[in-house]
Structure 1
Amino acid sequence: MSLLPRSIPVPAAEQMAATLAAVGTMLGPFKGSSSITRTVAHQGADWELTYLGPIGWRLTGPGVEHGIGVDAEEAAAHITTPPAGPAPARRVHVRIGTHRRAYHPDSACPALNGKPETYRGQEVMDESEALECGLALCAQCDAALTAAPSGTRGRPYRRSCAPPGRRPSRTGGAWAYAAPSPSDPPSTAGAPATGRTRKDTPMVPALYGIVARHVATGELLRCASVFDLEDLPVLLEEFADAYRDSPDVLIDLDTTPTS
């Protein structure tokens, strides 16, 4: 398990400074007493670039307050891209008539189109207008829109993060694996589960980085990072899809403790 570097190598700092200068901004001074975090001020916005070693940099700033993994070109693009305007209001569907209690983001919701004896059609309005009318979000639509994504074998990503026979849980920002309940299938990982609880086996909070490199030249093609272990499988699948047909690309993982 690697640790954060103690300083920024001169070539890495020079590459970042040159890339930022090419888009009309500049690499600022170090942040406080840090030796690996540089500041960037651009059009009234403040950014921070933390050097993470060979995997690249972590960029934090407007819209990416929790940080994202970037290389020099990606950092310049994020910093110089104008902030997006406010998201347009969501349009929702409402039954026409007096007997209505909910609004529906999904126009095909059975609760919206059911009961033909009282159905008089539907109208479309902004979600804020529906709330002002005293309507609530349809429970069926809400369940469909917030369902957890599944992996390639139909399992939720959250469960794919856990070792066989263990269930991940999160308390106070740290991940731990709870012992299997009697209703869980038996573990097939070899040794039986020890029965330790999340209080006994806490996971150290960490930054999980993924980097794609050219095997022959070692050139950095792409890097990204996440703080939550549950997001790692999604990021891995994105990299796998992007380089599935590139046998000359190596995808490497790196874990850096944050405490």
Structure 2
Amino acid sequence: MKTYNKIQELQNELQAQRNQGKTIGFVPTMGALHQGHISLVHQARAACDIVVVSIFVNPIQFNNPEDLKKYPRTYEADAKLLEEATCDYIFYPTVGEMYPEKVTKKYDFGNLETVMEGAFREGHFNGVGVVVNKLFEIVNADKAFFGKKDFQQLAIIRSLVEIENLSVEIIAGETMRECDGLAMSSRNVRLTEEERTFAPEIFSTLNWVKENMENHSPIELMEVAMKRLSVHFKPEYFQIVDGLSLQMINSWDETNYPVACVAAHLGQVRLIDNIELNR
């Protein structure tokens, strides 16, 4: 496994691999890796000849400077995990390498970016779009792998591929969970011991919604879910949406692909999760 900090050096190496007919799989990350990330690396390894993982804490997607400051940075541990997962190349650039000039690019993701995360994190998805497009240009992968935990981000990235007319295939990986159901996240390490005992209530609430959808409307379930979470959390939203448009539904008749999505603060940590409500 090799680590590259410079764009041109990585591109030269990958072009040499491409010239040999090798296919390239790419997993973009912000580091602080966990088994959810590693499951994507394994997917990439199974599907492609070469696996590239980027580690870059992207400053322009953080609307909260304090969140950026506290975001865990654990490169040495990350590199060890990636070597064990048989990653071929790590791309670990500096902010100056990625953004030598001020970023002015503005994307229009339409209604996908105005709901849920977009409503609470102004500019977040533009920052995601800018960095992912740049990473796609650098790596020029055949396939890129993203987890379903960031369900809205996945929709944004698929939209980005259409907007930029990119040839990369986007592959979605299932959300990886701890044994008590908590979705794996780099932010989980910031939970206190007591908060960690409450954290699985997000997934139990999502499951409760799924189990009760036959007898209640989406609106009723959303109201009850917010009340359940309000005991130990400060929920920002709990919405049942169409899985393609991400627009909230009032009736089950409005979609064949309902998805429940949630964001909630537990102490100083903001957690997100979702569940597909297969009917």
Q: Which TM class, normalised by the smaller chain length?
A: under 0.3
Bigger share in helix: 2
Normalising by structure 2, we get a TM-score of 0.20
Structure number with higher relative contact order (C-alpha < 8 Å, ≥ 6 residues apart): 2
The structure having more radius of gyration, on CA atoms, is 1
Task: Name the one with the larger strand percent.
Answer: 1
